[in-house]
Structure 1
Amino acid sequence: MMSILRSPQALQLTLALIKPDAVAHPLILEAVHQQILSNKFLIVRTRELLWRKEDCRRFYREHEGRFFYQRLVEFMASGPIRAYILAHKDAIGLWRTLMGPTRVFRARHTAPDSIRGSFGLTDTRNTTHGSDSEASASREIAAFFPDFSEQRWSRKPGLVAKLPGTTSCQRVWLVAAHPPGPGSSSTSSLEHLWCLRRRIFLLLRATPSSRSCLGYTAPPEALPGCLP
């Protein structure tokens, strides 16, 4: 039990977009989604939407005045897109690696197995977008998920108990990885520990195969005081 608690790792968030060229083709959309799952990302939030041109202009305002700006705006507003908030210990770097270079010609030659190398059509119709820094991720997440609070998500482990796209093993890890922050009272720390132990017990009971996840194996009776 304590081996889980000794090594909490902060999860980094990033925004991932699947662009209209990929959403229009269900097989490509599913292939990109499977890349997300197979690389152990946690899907915190996801939504599919049609983007208005004014929203596109606002999102890409850093490119305003460049030769491709209007073409990019027109394309991103041309059909449905899918947005994700992804969590991983290296969410930004890993997602950008999986996407591959922005220029499709370069992606096909230097990273042919990347998402853009596999499915990209042009430098604009290049399948995906990903935040390039933590500051960009925060700003972009707020643009697509205005009701989402990074601070609240990171401080309240109960919010991750039923994340879509996660296994019981991953949820156990998430709960253990988000203890109360510095300055928390001893009462809140004890409450967190009790809730953590009870939640792990319930998850392990629901999914027996997850009892050995993360190198930790324990029968339910090893978690006293956690009965529902």
Structure 2
Amino acid sequence: MERTLAILKPDCVRKRKVGEVLRRIQEAGFRLRAMKMVTMSKTEAEGFYAVHEDKPFFDDLTDFMSSGPCVPIVLEKENAIADFRALIGATDPEEAENGTIRSDFADSIQENIVHGSDSPSNGEKEAAYFFPEHEIVANQ
């Protein structure tokens, strides 16, 4: 089984789409292993997105991610990374396939509803940023 971290971003929470996005995730066969609602500080957002600190969008991204509550979720499934990225669609909702979460709910490349890990190693690392291993439920 492979794990990925999803984060339902502040725009998802603000638009009251958390339930709809969770429904789609579960209908796609993902198992929820851990979930909580948090509001990241600017420093926490900078830590999470440190891999992007040299990018021009870093400050706007971390401002946005610390602008309100978000919902980090550890998901598990065979092929979780690729399947989740297909479910959510391209980062830019204008480029996302019709019927994907981002094409249906996102407003822009920054306010794009959901984060998904881009590799199995990042999935594990990112999940650990929000959840110590003892908070991740092994079986449902």
* 1:144 and 2:133 correspond: no
TM-score by length of 2: 0.94
Aligned to 1:101: 90
Name the structure where helix makes up a greater proportion of residues. Answer: 1
Aligned to 1:17: 7
Deviations 1:184-226 (A, max 9, x none): xxxxxxxxxxxxxxxxxxxxxxxxxxxxxxxxxxxxxxxxxxx
Aligned to 2:104: 118
Q: Which runs of 5+ in 2 are unaligned?
A: none
The residue type equivalent to 1:12 in the other structure is E
TM-score by length of 1: 0.59
* 1:132 and 2:118 correspond: yes
Shift of 1:61: 1.1
The residue type equivalent to 2:121 in the other structure is A
RMSD over aligned CA atoms reads 1.6
Which structure would you say has the larger RCO, counting Cα contacts within 8 Å and 6 or more residues apart? 2
Aligned to 2:68: 79
* Whole-Å separation in 2 of the counterparts to 1:31 and 1:149: 28
1:23-102 equivalence runs, <5 A:
23-26=13-16, 28-102=17-91
Tell me the secondary structure at the aligned position of residue 48 of structure 1. Answer: coil
Q: Which runs of 5+ in 1 are unaligned?
A: 1-10, 154-158, 164-228
Q: Extract structure 1 runs of 4+ deviating beyond 6 A.
A: none
- What is the number of residues matched between the two proteins? 140
Tell me the secondary structure at the aligned position of residue 123 of structure 1. Answer: coil
Query: Percent same amino acid at aligned positions?
Result: 31
Shift of 1:65: 2.5
Shift of 1:63: 1.1
